[in-house]
A and B are shown apart, each in its own frame.
Chain A
Amino acid sequence: MELLRFITCGSVDDGKSTLIGRLLYESKLLYADHLAALEADSKRVGTCGGELDFALLVDGLAAEREQGITIDVAYRFFATEARRFIVADTPGHEQYTRNMVTGASTAEAAVILLDARKGVLSQTRRHARIVSLLGIRHVALAVNKLDLAGYSRETFDSVVAQFTEFAAELDFAEITCVPMSATEGVNVVGHSELTPWYDGPTLLQWLETVETDPRRDGPSRFLVQWVNRPDSTFRGLSGRVLRGTLRRDETVRIGERTTTVDRIVTMDGDLTDAPTGSSVTVVLADDVDASRGDVLAAASDPPGIADSFQAHLVWLNEAGLLPGRQYLAKIGARTVGFTATKALQLNEIGVDKVHFDAPVPFESYRTSRDLGSFVVLDRLTNATVGAGMINFALGPANVHWQNVTVDKQARIERNDHRPCVVWLTGLSGAGKSTIADLVEKALHAEGRHTFLLDGDNIRHGLNSDLGFTDADRVENIRRIAEVAALMVDAGLIVLVSFISPFRAERALARSLVGENEFCEVFVDTPLEVAERRDPKGLYRKARRGELANFTGIDSPYEPPENPEVRLDTTALSPEAAAAAVVAKLRALGVC
């Protein structure tokens, strides 16, 4: 027997809980004591005038019964001769969108309910979008409460037309529309004489036959959860086959290493192959270093490894997402540092550039729910605050690193000084370029190898295609950070003079180079001072509205929290400021 996991969703009062209660009742899966409790509860707190109120079966929490609403995901189980079902009943209230996302994340099919009289509402569209975003491709639209619309075929057809037109932009493989009354049991299990014009499947027939997860084929992926070492003679990797079939003697890649599968161990004996979804223990032919979070993959087609991604994010917490804030992300079997670049509020969904503080094996969410999804955790409260789905990697995900002989260390020895990024951040007109120029002059005079990357100059060339939106600012800094990191590899002391308003990008720049190779210099000039100086006349233009997204005016600046150097330009001369930077570089052992 197969297992199907599906969700029900729809607007408030569209009758989701009633539908599930009805499915349980009609499939004869309600026990007598449950039914007796239901009868008593229906009389006491029911909303059906003493008739059986099926919603009470599902709305199990005291608060829900009191308020007559569903406040959390409820999982229900039923089975027919054809299939076994797990249904997540998810609430329609917008403030509980996170629960819908939760329910949808493990579902293979979705039933979207709507009230035939009301048609497609904004909530219906929102839920359909979430269903699509979470990768559910098989959908039934249950046009419910048709009893209250006189079982009108015109009403049904018009609702179906509304929905299919809207859903054309979504990623559904199939939409089956069922005219229904959950309270009356019409077209839930059996066909009804009340809708003689309908010859499609009833809802239960659809659930019994809908196609399930098709992602079983493809190259093998095995996620290592736990290193199994009962004694010195056995070293296995316990984990799960996420995709494809893992075979004995298969050549597999793990990170940069290639080996073969020697044994697939289970308590019931060794296997020759392990199908998608199975939990097994793998013994490798060679004693390669492998640990929790690694992915064993078909050597011919391994997953990418990257640390920066474009991803969909859903925010699940009352405290909104702060750009640049350090969170944790759990992806596969790894938990790593995480930053995002855009603000999100509770229940908001956005597309963002996100950064993990270590490279992780991944696939796009479209390819693999298991390797393409992550949750965001708050470092302080440990709460699960966000959910993410990877669209693609930013940067060279599939380019494996080429080893070279003349490396950074060789250059350090030749140059007689260490490389470093000196990152000057601050408002426009703060004095960054002036100070950077003085620092470079001083270092150059000492015979150090230096280079100065100036924001304005770079925007004339490398970054001439970028504007000043948040997204372009992120990309602007990302490119500079990469260039600076390359120059560090080349052995240079790189002076970067960029406004770089967001902490997250500066954190990214820092993460690209080694420890003690990054010196953040906060050129701290209050807005009113910078605006008074206004060496390029930009503040005046911005104030007149001629420049949009100007940092400090209508675009935020996030000051560094722990810069290596903070320069108060209202108290220091440019020369004194430059001397302070050089002194810090000496203290860091750079020169």
Chain B
Amino acid sequence: MDHLDRLEADSVDIFREAVAESERPVLLYSIGKDSSVLLHLARKAFYPSKPPFPLLHVDTTWKFREMIAFRDRTAAELGLELIVHRNPDCVAMGINPFDHGSARHTDLWKTQGLRQALDEHRFDVAFGGARRDEEASRAKERVFSFRTAQHQWDPKNQRPELWRLYNTRVAPGESIRVFPLSNWTELDVWRYVERERIPVVPLYFAAPRPVVDRDGMLIMVDDDRMPLHEEPRQELVRFRTLGCYPLTGAVRSEARTVAEIVEEMRTATTSERQGRAIDHDQSGSMERKKREGYF
């Protein structure tokens, strides 16, 4: 078995353990390439059964339109239950990244929204696509990561995780976040997408798109809600990660296929999260967000 086979077998093993030992699992589906791979692995894990859990998308109403279309198409084609949660407080207050800032926008829509959804459906296991190579605090997180009834992560007091013997035991209200892609890298993800021909949102591929400059990032103007004081210009860009469109920087690229992305990756000089405004407040900011329940 080559290293992708081994990563796949490990991830399938993780899915099966978590499902066999939980009551109400859910897959946190954020529509990006990692979610696409996660969903593909979940299908493999339980084939010929369908994945025995619903997909949960914590929506912010600010995702790229192509993401939402891809999400709905994927769920329909695979015949999977899709739960879309939008924090009703944010809907009522009209929280957005322009008036409220990226930090508050992300906390209220995503962190608080996720907590609401998990509480409402009483999920005891939530699969996520986080990888350890993404960020320093993620490098230390367990594959089965315990959360208190308040959804808190305590990095200094994590359960030791040995061999493949995952501890799934929780008291009522507590939960486990399970990360089947923990040991994958960004390059592994793309190579696997290529090998398995996994559909991903077209925004990952280079195309001429309308962009403006914001805080050193290339921001794509995806709809008319974005305040503009200039005319957007067309540039050949793609995205390495996908989030809320006003907070996700595009990169100039000519990679129009997965093979070209893999080739570009091999020579890349910046990390994928470099394009994410929310990570840059200060170093250690991801750890703080995670402790509060961010994925």
**A residues within 8 Å of B by Cβ?**
1-3, 31-34, 37, 40-41, 57-63, 65, 71-77, 79, 84, 86, 98-99, 101-102, 105-106, 225-226, 228-230, 234, 236, 238-240, 265-268, 275, 277-279, 281, 292, 316, 328, 330-331, 333, 369-370, 373-375, 377, 382-384, 387
Contact = CB atoms under 8 A, between A and B. Distances in A.
B122 interface: no
Contacts of B287: 60-62
Given A265-B47, A278-B5, 14 more contacts: A3-B3, A3-B6, A31-B274, A62-B284, A73-B140, A101-B162, A228-B48, A228-B49, A277-B1, A278-B1, A279-B9, A279-B13, A333-B17, A375-B162
B160 A98 contact: yes
Nearest to A317: B160
Contacts of B159: 383-384
B162 A31 contact: no
Contacts of A279: 8-9, 12-13, 16, 44-45
B135 interface: yes
B44 A266 contact: yes
Contacts of B7: 3
A191 B136 CA distance: 30
Interface stretch (B53-61, B73-81, B99-107, B167-175): B167-175
A380 B7 CA distance: 34
A384 B167 contact: yes
Contacts of A101: 160, 162
A41 B43 contact: no
Interface stretch (B27-35, B89-97, B263-271): B263-271
B49 A72 contact: no
14 contacts: A1-B2, A3-B6, A33-B271, A58-B139, A63-B155, A102-B161, A225-B17, A239-B16, A266-B47, A267-B43, A267-B47, A279-B9, A331-B165, A384-B167
Contacts of A331: 165
B163 A373 contact: yes
Central interface residue in B137, B163, B183, by most chain A CB within 10 Å: B163
B228 interface: no
A72 B139 CA distance: 10
A236 B50 CA distance: 14
B229 interface: no
Contacts of B17: 225, 333
Contacts of B136: 57-61, 74
A68 to B, nearest CB: 15
A229 B268 CA distance: 45
Nearest to A103: B162
A265 B46 CA distance: 11
Contacts of B2: 1-2
A275 B160 CA distance: 29
Contacts of B171: 382
Contacts of B48: 228, 230, 234, 236, 265, 267, 281
A105 B1 CA distance: 21
Nearest to A228: B49
A105 B163 contact: yes
Interface of B: 1-3, 5-9, 12-13, 16-17, 19-20, 43-50, 132-133, 135-137, 139-140, 155-156, 158-165, 167, 169-171, 182-183, 185, 187-188, 268-271, 274, 283-284, 287-288
A226 B288 CA distance: 36
Nearest to A59: B136
A225 B3 CA distance: 22
Contacts of A330: 165, 167
B139 A75 contact: yes
Nearest to B43: A267
Nearest to B8: A279
A240 B44 contact: no
B164 A370 contact: yes
A42 to B, nearest CB: 12
Contact of B269 (A31, A277, A373): A31
Given A75-B183, A239-B16, A277-B6, A377 B160 contact: no
Nearest to A44: B283
Given A240-B9, A266-B47, A102 B160 contact: yes
A311 B167 CA distance: 20
A17 to B, nearest CB: 11
A77 B162 contact: no
A31 B271 contact: yes
Central interface residue in B3, B13, B162, B288, by most chain A CB within 10 Å: B162
Given A225-B17, A230-B49, A37 B164 contact: no
CB-CB nearest 6 A-B residue pairs: A60-B136, A279-B12, A382-B169, A3-B3, A267-B47, A230-B49
Contact of B3 (A1, A369, A375): A1
Contacts of B8: 279
Given A265-B47, A267-B44, A373 B165 contact: yes
Nearest to B6: A3
Nearest to B166: A330
Contacts of B132: 75-77
A105 B160 CA distance: 11
Contacts of A74: 136, 139-140
B265 to A, nearest CB: 11
Nearest to A62: B284
A373 B161 CA distance: 12
B44 A382 contact: no
A337 B256 CA distance: 56
A105 B17 CA distance: 18
A370 B163 contact: yes
A31 B268 contact: yes
Given A370-B163, A382-B167, A32 B269 contact: yes
Contact of B46 (A238, A384, A387): A238
A375 B160 CA distance: 9
A1 to B, nearest CB: 5
